[in-house]
């Protein structure tokens, strides 16, 4: 596939890969400077103002902050190149190993919420398209916009964890209740993106439905189901999925909040404990892992959207 600027799709993909690598390197540099320069003395920040000089010096040697800044940065990049995120200064556990399990939990919860949001927006728009009397469902989804995640999360925990105890609030619980523990917080995290995606998809469908090609397809005898999936949905899919990708960051923030409410052992709980303990290596690892995930997701989604709608690359080069 070649756009009007003469650039093949592979070249655009390589360009995005280089841009993503540069952005990630920038995040690495900012993360390093944030914890090595801005606090003034990380060892003193961690131990507090009442720590002895000897304890501070020992921690400086452990963290490597007693060496020149360029040497520290070179050592930091070398560790990252080996996928070594360092060790916690609290208990010495591996940051990478800890984050691997925690991020898997948060990613599962966040992606499940994202799939729920996409499914709800698709189902509501399809239902209203086939049966216009279901239009009030659009107004029902707006509840997800006016209700903050922490409020709806607390209400859901009280309702289904205390009044009607379907979900254990102290962790994963037994195997027969594990499904409920995932589904309930995921549904709460999906409320806002589902409302936004439903509205965007509705607007795009209304705009496309007034087009001549849709009227032509209807004139050929295409039924409502075929008209929706074969004619309308391919036209609006990129706009709809773009909203979904843009909402994933908010979904993950909501997932972190809900992990605290429902005591789910993901990154959310780890982040709170890390800040409280001033565990800077662990906090650095959380920032880098999350940044890598979203930078990679953004690059992949842009490549996917170019494949779904080649006109995007043409417009970008015009």
Residue 81 has pLDDT above 80, yes or no: yes
CA atoms within 13 A on the CB side of 211: 14
Tally: H helices and E strands in the chain: 16, 0
Q: Quick one: CATH architecture of 108-278?
A: Orthogonal Bundle (1.10)
pLDDT in tens, 6-61: 456 667 777 878 888 888 888 888 888 877 765 567 777 777 778 888 888 888 88
pLDDT at 4: 44
pLDDT band at 175 (very low <50, low <70, confident <90, very high): very low
* Position 176 confidence tier, pLDDT thresholds 50, 70, 90: very low
Which of 48-52, 127-131, 220-224, 304-308 has the highest average model confidence (pLDDT)? 127-131
pLDDT of 119 higher than 90:
yes
> Residue 122 above 90 pLDDT?
yes
What's the mean per-residue pLDDT of the chain?
80
Residue whose token pair is 């409920």: 180
Contacts of 276 (CB under 8 A, 6+ apart): none
| Percent of the chain's residues with pLDDT above 90 | 6
Give me the pLDDT at residue 116, please.
93
d(CA 18, CA 191): 35
State residue 164's pLDDT score: 76
Confidence of residue 126 (pLDDT cuts 50, 70, 90): very high
Domain with CATH 1.10.3720 in the chain: 108-278
Checking if the pLDDT of 3 tops 50, the result is no
CA pseudo-torsion sign 48, 51, 56, 62 = negative
């Amino acid at each position: 596939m070649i756009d009007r600027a003469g650039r093949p799709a592979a070249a655009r993909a390589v360009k995005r890969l280089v841009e993503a690598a540069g952005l990630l390197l920038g995040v690495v540099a900012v993360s390093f400077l944030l914890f090595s320069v801005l606090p003034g003395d990380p060892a003193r920040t961690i131990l507090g103002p009442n720590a002895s000089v000897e304890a501070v010096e020992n921690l400086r040697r452990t963290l490597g902050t007693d060496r020149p800044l360029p040497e520290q940065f070179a050592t930091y990049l070398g560790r990252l190149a080996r996928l070594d995120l360092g060790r916690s200064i609290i208990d010495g556990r591996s940051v990478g190993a800890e984050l691997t399990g925690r991020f898997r939990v948060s990613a599962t919860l966040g992606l499940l919420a994202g799939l729920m949001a996409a499914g709800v927006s698709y189902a509501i728009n399809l239902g209203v398209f086939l049966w216009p009397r279901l239009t009030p469902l659009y107004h029902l989804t707006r509840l997800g916009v006016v209700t903050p995640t922490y409020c709806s999360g607390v209400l859901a925990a009280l309702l289904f964890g205390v009044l009607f105890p379907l979900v254990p609030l102290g962790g994963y619980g037994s195997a027969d209740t594990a499904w409920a523990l995932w589904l309930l917080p995921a549904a709460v995290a999906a409320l806002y993106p589902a409302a936004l995606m439903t509205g965007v998809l509705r607007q795009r469908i209304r705009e496309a439905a007034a087009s001549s090609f849709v009227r032509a397809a209807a004139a050929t005898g295409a039924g409502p189901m075929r008209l929706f999936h074969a004619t309308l949905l391919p036209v609006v899919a990129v706009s709809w999925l773009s909203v979904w990708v843009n909402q994933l960051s908010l979904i993950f923030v909501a997932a972190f909040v809900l992990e605290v409410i429902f005591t789910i052992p993901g990154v959310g709980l780890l982040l709170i404990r890390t800040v409280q303990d001033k565990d800077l290596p662990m906090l650095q690892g959380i920032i880098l892992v999350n940044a890598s995930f979203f930078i990679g997701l953004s690059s992949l989604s842009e490549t996917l959207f170019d494949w779904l709608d080649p006109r995007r690359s043409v417009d970008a080069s015009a």
